Amino acid sequence: MTDKALISIEGLGKTYPAAGGGSTLVFEDVWFAVERGEFVCVIGHSGCGKTTILNALAGLEKPSAGSIIVAGQEVTGPSLDRAVIFQSHALLPWMTVEGNIAFAVKSRWPKWSREQIRARTQQFIALVGLSGSERKKPAQLSGGMKQRVGIARALSIDPKILLMDEPFSALDALTRGTLQDEVLRICAETRQTVFMITHDVDEAIMLADKIVLMTNGPRARIAEIVVNTLPRERSRHDLHRHPHYYRIRNHLIEFLVDRSRNFDVEVESGGHDPRHPRLVYPGRAEPAVAAVDPAPADDPPRSRHPSLQEIRK
Amino acid sequence: MKASLAARAALLSLLIFAALMLLWQFAAQTGSTGVAVDPEYAKLIGAAAAGGGQSSVPTPLDVGAKLWGHITDPFYVRGTNDQGIGIQLAYSLGRVLIGYLLAAVVAIPLGFLIGMSPLVYRALDPFIQVLKPISPLAWMPLALYTIKDSAISAVFVIFICSIWPMLINTAFGVAAVRREWLNVARTLEVGWFRRAFTVILPAAAPTIMTGMRISIGIAWLVIVAAEMLVGGTGIGYFVWNEWNNLSLANIITAILLIGVIGMLLDQVLARLARLVTFPE
C-alpha cells in the first residue's frame, strides 16, 4: 500500500530547542499515507505540530526525524508539485490579483509567452469567481476574496498535491461555507490530492475523505484515522441529514474533548501501532474498528526513528 | 461660516509670519540705534563702521530687497568671489547629488547583501555602529590628505554621511521581509535573482526609501559645513564669504534658500516613497 500511495509520511518527528537548554519533542513517530486523489484532513489541538507536518510536506521546514516520500521521491525542499494555500493567504500586496497569480504561472512555466500566462491567469481568476477584480490590489479585497486569490494561485500551477494550512480559519462563517463548497467542487472536478490542516470538525467532515486525528502536544502522535463514509458529493444543505453525519461528528468531538488528552492510557492498554494507525469507520455503526492495514509478518523490528535506507528497503 | 481646516491653518500661518516679521523689524530698529562695535575698534577703522551701518542687523525689508535681488539675478558672475546665488546653490546641489548617488549605488546593493545574510549582518554590525555616529566633517582632513582635491573631498564627505542611513535601512528592510512572502517564493521555486527583484526589493522598497529620504536630508545639512571648510564655491562658501563681508542680509537670504531647497529635496523623495509604498 505504501508503494502505491502518492504521499508517504514515514516516522516523522520534530524537536524544537526549548528555553534553557533541553528540547521539546512536538511529535514523534508519525506514519500515514495519502492516496492519489484523496482529500486528507489532519485535526488536532493547537501545538500538536499539525502545521509543522504540513510545512515539512511543503519542504519549508526540515523534520528532526523520519522522512516524507512523495511520488517515490524524498522531500528535500519546496517544489512546484506541492502548492501551498497559506492560512494568512500570503498574497504579495504590491501586486494586483492578476499579478499574484501570473507570478505563480510564470514560475511554473518560465518560457511561456505573455499571452499564454495571461490566458491561464484569467482562467483561474474565473474559476474562483473573481473576474472583474483582476486589477485590484489585495488591500482592496475582502478576506474571502483574498483567500480565493490564494486558492487560484495554488491551483494555477497544476500541482500534484494541494496543501492547505487552516485556509478558512480567518474567515467569517458565511464566507467560510461558500469557499468550502467551492473548494470541494474544484477538488472533485480535478480529482486533486489535498492535504489540509484544520481544527474545525464540520469542515473536516464536509471536505475530507480521511480525517487523521492527532493527540495533544508535546509528544503528539497520530491516534487513528477516521474514514469519512459520507457520499463524496456532499453539500452543506443536507449533510447533517445523513445518518452517518452525527456518528462521525460525535466521534471527532469526543476525541478532541477527551481522548486527545488521555491517549497515553489507550496506548498503554495496547493495540496502538504508530506505524499503522487504525482506520476507524464511526459512520457505519459503533464500534466499527477495522485493521485494514495490517503489518506484514516479515516487518523488520521497528526502531523509533528508522534510517532512510531502512525505509527505502 | 466655517472655513476649511486648510484655509484656517493658512490664515494662522500668515498671522504667525506677520507677527515674526514685526518682531524682527522692531528688534532690528532698536538694535541699530546703539553702537554696534567697540568704540576703540571704531576709532581704528573709521566712522562708517562706528555708526553701525552695513554691519548692523538688517530689517526684514532689507532682507526682502536682497532676496528679490538674488532671485531676479541668480546666475551672474563678477569674478571668482562674486557669483550669483543660483550658481552657488547649483554647485552645492551638484556635490550633494553626486555624493548621494554614489552612496546609493554602494549602500543599496551592499545593504541588500547584508540583509540577505544573517551572518554578514552580525559580522558587519559593529563596524556600522562605530562608523555611523562619526561626524562626516571629521573625515574631512583625512579626505583632503588622501584625495588632495578639495572639491572631491567635499563630495566624499557627502558620500560618507549619506551612506549609513541607506545601508542600515536597506539591510533592515531586506532582513525584515515577511517570512510568508519568502515562503511563497520558495514553494514556487523562484530563483535567486527573480526572488531578489520581484519579492524582496518591492517588499523592502518603502524602508529603503525612508533611508534615502533621511540621507538626502543629512547630505544637505552637511554640504553647507563642508563648503565652509573647503571654500571656493557653493552655498556654504557663499555664507562664509558674506560673513567675512559682514553682510547679514545676504547670509539670511542664503539661510532661507537653503531651507527651501532642503524642503524641496525632501518632498521629491517623499513623492518617490509614495510610489513604492503598498497598502496591506
**Residue A303 or B47, more confident:** B47
pLDDT given for residue B62 in this prediction: 86
Q: Is residue B280 very low, low, confident or very high in pLDDT (cuts 50, 70, 90)?
A: confident
pLDDT given for residue B119 in this prediction: 94
Q: Are A45 and A66 in contact (CB under 8 A)?
A: no
pLDDT given for residue B1 in this prediction: 58
Q: What gap in Å lies between CA B182 and CA B200, rounded to an integer?
A: 8
Instruction: Render pLDDT for B98-157 as a digit per residue (tens, 0 to 9).
Output: 999 999 999 999 999 999 999 999 999 999 999 999 999 899 999 999 998 888 999 999
pLDDT given for residue A140 in this prediction: 94
A33 Cβ contact partners less than 8 Å away, ≥ 6 residues apart: A1, A2, A5, A7, A8, A9
Q: Chain B: residue nearest A105 by CA?
A: B188
pLDDT given for residue A234 in this prediction: 80
Asked if residue B72 has pLDDT above 90, the reply is: no
- Contact of B192 with chain A, judged by CB distance below 8 Å, is answered with no
Residue reference for cell 500500500? A1
**Are B202 and A92 an interchain contact pair (Cβ–Cβ within 8 Å)?**
yes
Residue A147 with chain B: CB contacts under 8 Å: none
Q: Is residue B27 very low, low, confident or very high in pLDDT (cuts 50, 70, 90)?
A: confident
Mean pLDDT of chain B: 88
**Are A90 and B181 an interchain contact pair (Cβ–Cβ within 8 Å)?**
yes
In 3D space, the residue among B205, B280, B116 whose CA is nearest the CA of residue A89 turns out to be B280
Distance from CA of A93 to the nearest CA of B (A): 6
Q: Is residue B26 very low, low, confident or very high in pLDDT (cuts 50, 70, 90)?
A: confident
Lowest-confidence region among A282-286, A293-297, B87-91, B202-206:
A293-297
pLDDT given for residue B28 in this prediction: 83
pLDDT given for residue B179 in this prediction: 92
Residue A108 with chain B: CB contacts under 8 Å: 188
**Are A84 and B279 an interchain contact pair (Cβ–Cβ within 8 Å)?**
no
Q: Determine what percent of chain B is predicted with pLDDT higher than 90.
A: 67
Q: Are A228 and A207 in contact (CB under 8 A)?
A: no
- Contact of A281 with chain B, judged by CB distance below 8 Å, is answered with no
Residue B198 with chain A: CB contacts under 8 Å: 103
Which of B177, B181, B188 would you mutate first to test chain A, the one with the most A CBs within 10 A? Answer: B188
Quick one: DSSP state of residue B197?
I
pLDDT given for residue A293 in this prediction: 46
Asked if residue B273 has pLDDT above 90, the reply is: yes
**Are B180 and A92 an interchain contact pair (Cβ–Cβ within 8 Å)?**
no
Pairing of strands A65-70, A39-43: unpaired
pLDDT given for residue A230 in this prediction: 85
Which A positions 72-101 lie with beta carbon below 8 A of chain B?
77-80, 82-84, 86, 88, 90, 92-94
Q: What is the mean pLDDT of each run of 10 residues along chain A (313 residues)?
A: 74 86 85 91 88 92 91 91 92 96 96 95 92 93 93 93 91 87 87 91 91 87 88 79 86 87 77 80 64 44 40 38
Asked if residue B50 has pLDDT above 60, the reply is: no
Lowest-confidence region among A42-46, B180-184, B256-260:
A42-46
- CB-closest option in B181, B187, B203 to A83: B187
Q: Are B265 and B220 in contact (CB under 8 A)?
A: yes
Give B138-142 contacts, CB < 8 A, sequence gap 24+.
B140/B226, B140/B229, B140/B230
Q: Is residue B46 very low, low, confident or very high in pLDDT (cuts 50, 70, 90)?
A: low
pLDDT given for residue B53 in this prediction: 47
pLDDT given for residue B41 in this prediction: 66
What number is the ipTM of this complex?
Answer: 0.82
Q: How much is the CA Rg of chain B, to the nearest whole Å?
A: 25
Residue B199 with chain A: CB contacts under 8 Å: 92
Lowest-confidence region among A101-105, B68-72, B95-99:
B68-72
- Contact of A257 with chain B, judged by CB distance below 8 Å, is answered with no
Q: Is residue B3 very low, low, confident or very high in pLDDT (cuts 50, 70, 90)?
A: confident
pLDDT given for residue A296 in this prediction: 43
Q: Are B161 and B219 in contact (CB under 8 A)?
A: yes
In 3D space, the residue among A74, A68, A307, A89 whose CA is nearest the CA of residue A195 turns out to be A68
**Are A108 and B188 an interchain contact pair (Cβ–Cβ within 8 Å)?**
yes
Pairing of strands A39-43, A210-214: parallel
Sheet containing A23-34: which strands, arranged edge to edge? A23-34, A7-17, A65-70, A73-74
Q: Chain A: residue nearest B184 by CA?
A: A90
Q: What gap in Å lies between CA A53 and CA A38, rounded to an integer?
A: 17
